[in-house]
Amino acid sequence: MKGRDGRRWRRLVAWARKELPPVCHICGRLIDTTLPVNDRMGWTLDHRVPIAVAPHLAEEPGNLAPAHRGCNSRKGANPNFRHEAPRQSRIW
């Protein structure tokens, strides 16, 4: 495996951007694909099962899913991550 800078990885990212729906698999909200990649609400490709847990699934298309950059960063390498909705300041 060359890592996330090899030709195969770039092809997987291009395939995912084209074929997968732009919905974050972590929070379930729509991803604005026009945002820059470094924006926290921008599109990234996440590994459902983290590479740290299963390195052999790193380039497996079934293990890849779109996510917001912020959601992906919060999830990190935690395989048991659960997204929690933001808390309201008070009950309305």
pLDDT at 87: 64
Q: What is the 3-state secondary structure (H, E, C) of 12-64?
A: HHHHHHHHCCCECCCCCCECCCCCCCCCCCCEEEEECCCCCCCHHHCCCHHHE
Beta-ladder partners of 9: none
Please choose, from the candidates 23, 40, 27, 41, the residue with its C-alpha nearest in 3D space to the C-alpha of residue 81.
27
Q: Would you tell me how many other CB atoms lie within 10 Å of the CB of residue 46?
A: 20
Task: Tell me the pLDDT tens digit for each residue of 14-70.
Answer: 999 999 999 999 999 999 999 998 999 999 999 998 888 888 888 889 999 999 999
Task: Tell me the pLDDT tens digit for each residue of 4-17.
Answer: 778 888 999 999 99
